[in-house]
Structure 1
Amino acid sequence: AFEAMGRLETYSKVALRIAKQAGMLYSWMHDLSTRIPEMSVRGIVEEVVAHSGFEPYLDTLDDASMRKQNLAEMLTAASAFYAEKSGGGLPEFLERVALVSDSEQIDSRGGRAALMTLHTSKGLEYPIVFIAGMEEGLFPHSRSADIDEEVEEERRLCYVGMTRARQLLYLTNTLSREIYGVRQESRQSRFMREIDPALIHRIAPEHGAASVRPLSPREAYVDYGDSQLPDDEPGPGGDGLSIGAKVVHPTFGRGIVRRREGRGDNAKAWVNFERGGIKLLVLKFANLRLAE
């Protein structure tokens, strides 16, 4: 079928416009297939996205912002895959990202870790359970943080996950993480702060391993009232997002640009958001607009 795409112009029953488009697609895919061995996984994904016009298509959808964030997260995953230097290529990467999480397909014989969503975990039990990403913006998700009913639903879901553990339960959070292509500081989930401190045994990095310390249950480790970055650095770019510009992000809300770096597709901005603190955004995917 693939080879036939390159011969459609010879068939009179196929409209010429469609045949030409199919021929162009065939030529590009054939060329790409010859270059894949020398390309990184991220490079392959970026070329497919750019050549296919996928981003302009996403702009026509109601949830364009979220879909673009998912796309940026896939690019981040591709970079992380390459950084592992495992020697794998595109097939191995696609196999990794195509995770199957249906509960009926989870191997219950033991001897290995089962990765699943909290929804999938309902009705299952394990001797030891890890719940990762116990951070504001992830759990509860940023989309539900200002809606009491949705926060309560996620609180119930958190309880479901916690009660899957028969013996040991680990709740983990990070001080920063890269998500949707953005490196951002993280705040401990309110769900962890709501647990009786007497029931928690805190585990922190060894002394000297990192410049962090154990937190009391209700202690914040970052003051988001002011920028943590210098504000006297000139910023490049002709998009109006200069240092001090007030902007709006579809997820993080209002913020102020504190620093610019890079140009073109590599342009990034450090933005101090009122609700989310400082975040490093890739402007190509950030969907920022100037505040009115």
Structure 2
Amino acid sequence: MTPHDPSGTFPSGSSSRRIGIDDVRRIEAVTARCRDTDYRRGGDAGRDDILTCLHASRPLTEAAMTEHVRTSLQVALADLHTLAGWTCFDVGDLTRARSHLDQALTLAREAGNDDLAANIHYRLGRIHLHHLQPSQALARFQLGEQLARRSATPRTVSLLLVNQAWAHARMGAEQPALTALDQAHETFAAIGPGPAPPWSAFFDATDFDSITGVVYTELAQHTDTSYTSFALPALTRAVNSFGDDMARSRAFCLIMLAINHLIEGDVEHGAKIGIQAVVTSSALTSTRTKDRMKPLANEAYRHRDTTRARDLADHITRFTQS
């Protein structure tokens, strides 16, 4: 094993020998395991293992290999850097998040993998969206859509379109948001059989419901409160479908579900779900959950004359300050 690979994932002398596809498969296995950990427990849970694997894999890039293995290695390392960037984003380390995603984009381009490059633009866009930069996010999503269309991958095209709808809705652009959402639905329906690439497999019918609910929630907050009637069914389906293996996604949905109930004036139910969102989020190593609590806290404050809303606000305060 290499000095920087205590797990023994890679053999010693990688830079001075010929490597094969089995070496690439080891990287893919680490990425898959760490991705599952990220979904279940949050970004800080498996980040050390990701960074260890990246460090240990560096000598492989200098080894002798066939062109097929080289391309596969570039894709595997791009995916691992993408996951590293995503976990850094999840814990609020934006400098390292962007650095890893930039490295991932370079590797994906070198490998000629437009679908993976499109996915990386999606993640860069989500960083902008999370930090209240919807116009920059929209530009990233649109660039990603172009690459996804070039690679002819409906799943990724739909992912980029539904996130464009989110960015439009965040800006209060009602009709562009609805148009992008309709296009995302049509494209999602065109996804064929067969497994998805590991970097986009998360985007299934449940995740589509989740983001659809988010789009309608944004519209309810920024344009017309009646959009809660569209948000609630989509978010309820998502909450009921996300399991423990997607605990962070479920937490995000619970937050949005609570916001919609509070917007509708159903304070009792909204507060109950909001507290459930806090409990679920408390088990995660993710600072994004704390950031996403802010709109829920604002809605709770609007109903501060009720005991349940004040109780929810107290729960959020204790969680975000912990």
Structure (1/2) with the larger strand percentage: 1
With normalisation by structure 1, the TM-score equals 0.30
Structure (1/2) with the larger helix percentage: 2
With normalisation by structure 2, the TM-score equals 0.28
Structure of greater Rg: 1
